[in-house]
Each structure stands twice: as C-alpha cells, then as structure tokens.
Amino acid sequence: MTTTAADASVVSEQGGLAARWLLPPGHATPTTGAPLRVVAHLAEPVVALAEHAAPLDGPLSWGAYVAATAAGLVLPPLTRDQVVDFRLPLAVWAAPAPVGAVVDPLLLGAGGLVWGWRCSRAQYEAAEHTSVDVRRKPPTGEMGRFTGERKHHVGLGPFKARAVALPAVTARMVWWHALGDADGVRDLLTHVTHLGRHARHGHGRVLRWEVQADPDAAEGWRERPFPREGGRLEPVRAPYWHPSRLLPCA
Amino acid sequence: MSATTTTTAAPTTSLGRLHLPLLFTLLSPLHHGAGTAGNTGNTSLLRRQSMVAPDGDVTAQPMVSGNSLRHSLRSALAWHLTRTLDIPDGSLSKPVVDLLWSGGAITRTGAQVDLERGRHVEELTPWLTLMGYSAGSDMVAGSLYVNHAHLVCAENAWRCGERARALPQARKRGGSMVGEEFGTRHDVAGTAVDRLIGGGGELLAAPPATTQMIYDMHVVMPGAALDGSLEVTAAATAAQRAVLLVALDEAAPLVGGERVIRLGAKAAVGFGRARLEADLTALGDLEGARAWWEEHLTGRRDEVLGLLTELVA
C-alpha cells in the first residue's frame, strides 16, 4: 500500500488532534487543581441516576468526545480491548490496585498504578424516586403495506412492542466536587445537554451549568469509589460502562 | 490509533452545537396517553411528568414525550424516502421497515465493529446517524436530542424557553388547561346496516355481543401551548442537519402559511393538531436541503436500498 501526501497530511492532522484530546495510554500521573463545585440545574428527571455513582468525569468525557469529534478527530472503535481516555481538565489520583484483584492493563497509569480523576460521585437531594416509560410501537401498519409478510407478532422477537419502565430521580439539581481547571470544565460542559440514560428522548435535560470555586471540594472530591481490597466491583473512571474499568472498591 | 483508521475516515463538518426551540399551540384537543386506561375504567388519562418547582413543590403536568416527537420526525423521513424512491408496496422486508420507522433492533450478538460500513451509513443514509439506529449487532447513537414538550403554565414556566415564558398561558395553572373529551361507537344492531352483517342468520347460537361503547379521555385544551426543543450536537455533520430540516418540513408542513403538526394520539380523528413555531433557518436553507436530499436519494437509490438490506442482514 502506497502512502500519498494527502494520506500523510490526514495522519499528521489526526496525530495533532489525538495529542490534544487524548491521554496516551499509561501516562496519567497524579496532579492537582483548583477546588470546584459543579452544579447541573435540571429540567427533567434523570434516568438511572440512583443506580450509578455517576462521577463528573463521565459527563466531561462525553463533552470531550463531542468536542473532539466536532474538531475532526476520528476515534478508534470502542471494543472490549480498546478504549480511550480523554484529556480532561481535572486533577488525577493514583493508587495501587487491591491485592489479588484482576486488573485490566487499560486501567493502569504511570508506575503501574490504577488512576482516576479527582471528582466526586453525583450528589443530589431527591424530591422523588420515580420511573419513566419508554415505549416502542412496531410499525405494523407500514409493515402491512411495504412487506409481503402475512403476520407480525407484537409480543415476540426483536421487533416486538415494548413499554419499559426505568428508574429515575426527580431533583432540582445534581452537584459534584472536583479538583481542576474551572474554564476547561465550563468549556466541555457546553456540550453536555443531558444526564443519564435515554437522554435523546429528552430525559435528564440540563437547564444550565454552574462551575464555581468551593474550598469544600479540596476534600469533597473524595466522595467517590476508590479501589479497596475486598470491596464491591465498581468502575473507577470513564467510560463507566466499560468492563476494563471494574475494580473492587469501597 | 492505526493509520488505516485515520486515513479512510470521512471528514466531519463542525457547525457547533445547535439548540432549536419549538413552540406548539394546540388547534385541537391533545391526548398523549399515560397507558392507564385499564386502571381507570374507560377514561384514558394524560401522560404527566412530576418535577420539582423552584418553590420546592412537586408538580405533575401534561407533556408530550421526546420519544413521541422523535418518532414523528423519523416517520416523516421514512415516508419521504418511500415516496421519493417510489418504493412499491410489498417490496421491503420486515426488518427494513422496522429500521425505517422505528429505528430497528439488535438481532444478533457480535463484537466486531465494521468501520467501513459505518462510513457508508453516514455517507448514504445520514438520517440514520442523525436519529440513531440498531441493526444486526450494532447500536448507534444519533446526534439529535429531542426534548419533551411541556405544557406552558405557571408550574412549568421556570423551565420553558423565553418565548413560551412570555405567553399569557405561562401565568395560568396547568389544571385550567386540562379537560375531557369523549367518543362513541354505535351498535348497528337493529339498524338498516344490520342486515348486511348478519352472515350466520339462524345458524348463530346467540346474537353477537354489543360493540357499542363510549370512551373518554383527558385532553389538553385547544389554545394551550407546549414548549419543546431540539438539540443537535456539535459533532453532527452538515448532511445530518440538512436531513433534519427536511424531517421538520415533512412532519410539520406549511398549511395556509403556518406549520401544522400532529401530536399525540387519535390524530386520525382530529386530535393533536398544533401550530409549530420554530426558526428553521438555524438549520440552513430548506429548499437547498430538500433538493440535495432528494437528488441524493434518487441518484443513489440502489446503494441506499442495498445498504438498508445489508444493515439488517
């Protein structure tokens, strides 16, 4: 395969974007930042908020993903064995992996330590723990016209009708404590319009973000899962759903 | 990151994040059901959402779900595609129809990501990458967020857009804009029509059970307004925005100089007609977008249909 000048230019441009937006694997080292309180003022209940710790690096990574993609960065596919860490404007913690724990190499940073971002879990005062419905109606009328099929069973198979009830939290706001750069956090949060699951259906809409200095965050960011021997398996950094992120935590 | 990945990717055009306010004014009663008719006799209740008001009170007001509005846009694009490509009746498979109108479904397991096909989907069928879809073992999130449309009322004013907050309805309680409608279905027994449907005559052991009924539903009254919005991420391409513009024009066509859309249930019997006010110029030039999209579809008809079939295989 020959490489053209245009190819080389694209590779070079992509290399620059990757350097700007992504952390090289295994290079995270502990850092510090300004103590911040980050508040999301909500317009809608958030789906599955109570089921997850939802630390701030989750939404920030989403914001970084949108910003990086908009800038033209083409990310490698997310697979079981491949995941990226965005360069977030937050400080980093590092700790030894719990003794005996199975640690995915993707989780390790400098010195073979497990690392994560210095930010707390999502905190809120729930006015109500409720549920929201997500419905899916099969297009049986259109199937009748545009296919030659004789029947469609609405209760069976991948194209069945669904009415799924999902847990949700009704709250005025969600807040986090973090150590980081306030302007950088604000920039990334402009791309974060919703929190939680089923956001594309309007759930978890954020009315506005507020990022301000808060001395309480100097210690408050520690309100989050940390690796602990014998603890429950929990993810320690974004993307929180990725299996490589799991460690015994307390 | 491999060189292969970087050199063969389609470029992404960044136009920044877009927030598009939608203001609906009801021209006929709206019923968007809560799915509770089974528990409330023959009365269908309105779907409501509870939320904390600024004073700390929890209030539950009628709304139209973002999921429902999103389906209106997806369905509008599906009908537009079948019309533009003159798709013959009976010529599509069930999975393709489901992909077009409902976004498809995961039908098998698999961990391999087909990057080449992903680029084809964006190039040939940008409405799928705009709305999101599932097919085979792929689940792809769209670049469009469709927010719930909330009743413009005193309880919801704090979360409404600027234009909605300025409406007189924003000072009235939500309860004052909710009413009731009913419908009937008459039994034909004993009417002139009866003789046409007898069929069994004296062979019937018993006359058929009556089909007469009266049904009742809670509605949001005509004249009430709903405040909604769309969010398009900064990662959305120019093609996706153009397709969204066509979707809005199809779902809410101009009728007598204003855009009219159907919201909620029982649209076929006149419910849910609403005037839509939205500044679509934020998405670009409508005529240009429509011309480009229709030319793209007709010019690459076989490729588009081939890709849809391949996606669900």
Which token pair is B283? Answer: 């998405």
More confident residue, A90 or A5: A90
Out of A8-17, A233-242, B12-21, B166-175, pick the least confident: B12-21
Displacement of CA B223 from its chain's centroid (Å): 21
Give me chain A's average pLDDT, please: 92
Which band of pLDDT confidence, cut at 50, 70 and 90, is reported for residue B196? Answer: low
Taking the CA of residue B130 and the nearest CA in chain A, the distance in Å comes to 11
**What is the predicted pLDDT for the residue at B42?**
78
Instruction: Count CA atoms closer than 13 A to A103's CA, side-chain side.
Output: 20
For residue range A158-172, what is the model confidence (pLDDT) as tens digits?
889 988 999 999 999
- C-alpha span between A54 and A94 (Å, rounded): 19
Label residues B174-208 b or e (16+ Cβ within 10 Å = b): beebbeebeeeeeeeeeeeeeeeeeeeeeeeeeee
The number of beta carbons lying within 10 Å of the beta carbon of residue A206 is 21
**What is the predicted pLDDT for the residue at B2?**
34
Contact state of B66 with A127 under an 8 Å Cβ cutoff: no
Which token pair is B147? Answer: 């927010």
By CA distance, what is A83's nearest residue in B? B1
Residues of chain B with C-beta less than 8 angstroms from the C-beta of A158: 105-107
**What is the predicted pLDDT for the residue at B3?**
32
Residues of chain B with C-beta less than 8 angstroms from the C-beta of A66: 17, 233-235
Taking the CA of residue A150 and the nearest CA in chain B, the distance in Å comes to 11
Give the mean pLDDT of B90-103. Answer: 96
Taking the CA of residue A99 and the nearest CA in chain B, the distance in Å comes to 31
- C-alpha span between A90 and A178 (Å, rounded): 7
Which band of pLDDT confidence, cut at 50, 70 and 90, is reported for residue A1? Answer: very low
Residues of chain B with C-beta less than 8 angstroms from the C-beta of A152: 94
**What is the predicted pLDDT for the residue at B92?**
97
Label residues B212-241 b or e (16+ Cβ within 10 Å = b): eeeebbbbbeeebbbbbbbbbbbbbbebbb
Residue B305 has pLDDT above 90, yes or no: yes
For residue range A88-113, what is the model confidence (pLDDT) as tens digits?
999 999 999 999 999 999 999 989 99
Q: Which of B18, B36, B89, B145 to mutate to test the interface with A (most CBs of A within 10 A)?
A: B145
Which band of pLDDT confidence, cut at 50, 70 and 90, is reported for residue B100? Answer: very high
Which token pair is B56? Answer: 């700390």
**What is the predicted pLDDT for the residue at B206?**
62
Looking at B12-101, which runs of residues are DSSP E strands? 18-26, 43-44, 48-52, 58-64
By CA distance, what is A1's nearest residue in B? B4
Give the mean pLDDT of B66-81. Answer: 97
Give me chain B's average pLDDT, please: 88
Instruction: Count CA atoms closer than 13 A to B245's CA, side-chain side.
Output: 24
Give the mean pLDDT of B51-73. Answer: 93
Taking the CA of residue B112 and the nearest CA in chain A, the distance in Å comes to 8
For residue range A54-100, what is the model confidence (pLDDT) as tens digits?
999 999 999 999 999 999 998 887 888 889 999 999 999 999 999 99
Partner residue facing A138 (CB), from B2, B75, B102: B102
Residue A132 has pLDDT above 80, yes or no: yes
**What is the predicted pLDDT for the residue at B198?**
56
**What is the predicted pLDDT for the residue at B38?**
58
Residue A10 has pLDDT above 80, yes or no: no
Residues of chain A with C-beta less than 8 angstroms from the C-beta of B19: 193
The number of beta carbons lying within 10 Å of the beta carbon of residue B209 is 7
Percent of chain B past pLDDT 70, that is, above it, reads 87
Contact state of A200 with B144 under an 8 Å Cβ cutoff: yes
Which band of pLDDT confidence, cut at 50, 70 and 90, is reported for residue B157? Answer: very high
Which band of pLDDT confidence, cut at 50, 70 and 90, is reported for residue A2? Answer: low
Q: Which of A147, A149, A207 to mutate to test the interface with B (most CBs of B within 10 A)?
A: A147
Out of A123-137, A198-212, A217-231, B180-194, pick the least confident: B180-194
Residue B197 has pLDDT above 80, yes or no: no
Which band of pLDDT confidence, cut at 50, 70 and 90, is reported for residue B34? Answer: confident
By CA distance, what is B101's nearest residue in A? A139
Taking the CA of residue A250 and the nearest CA in chain B, the distance in Å comes to 31
In the stretch 209-248 of chain A, residues with CB closer than 8 A to chain B read: none
Classify B139 as helix, strand or coil: strand
Q: First vs last Cα of chain A: how many Å apart?
A: 51
Q: First vs last Cα of chain B: how many Å apart?
A: 29
Give the mean pLDDT of B157-177. Answer: 97
Give the mean pLDDT of B127-148. Answer: 92
- C-alpha span between B281 and B20 (Å, rounded): 10
More confident residue, B109 or A183: A183
Residue A140 contacts B where some CB pair is shorter than 8 Å: no
Contact state of A146 with B89 under an 8 Å Cβ cutoff: yes
Out of A96-105, B11-20, B146-155, B303-312, pick the least confident: B11-20
**What is the predicted pLDDT for the residue at A178?**
98
**What is the predicted pLDDT for the residue at B113?**
67
**What is the predicted pLDDT for the residue at B246?**
98
Taking the CA of residue B205 and the nearest CA in chain A, the distance in Å comes to 30
Contact state of B94 with A159 under an 8 Å Cβ cutoff: yes
Residue A77 contacts B where some CB pair is shorter than 8 Å: yes
Partner residue facing A193 (CB), from B5, B16, B145: B145
More confident residue, B203 or B73: B73
Residues of chain A with C-beta less than 8 angstroms from the C-beta of B89: 145-146
For residue range A27-46, what is the model confidence (pLDDT) as tens digits?
777 788 999 999 999 999 99
Out of A16-25, B185-194, B195-204, B290-299, pick the least confident: B195-204
In the stretch 37-76 of chain A, residues with CB closer than 8 A to chain B read: 43-45, 65-67, 69-72, 74-76
Taking the CA of residue A8 and the nearest CA in chain B, the distance in Å comes to 8
- C-alpha span between A141 and B313 (Å, rounded): 22
Residues of chain A with C-beta less than 8 angstroms from the C-beta of B238: none
Q: Which helix (H) or strand (E) holds B241?
A: helix B238-251
**What is the predicted pLDDT for the residue at A42?**
96
Contact state of B159 with A149 under an 8 Å Cβ cutoff: no
Residue B312 has pLDDT above 50, yes or no: yes
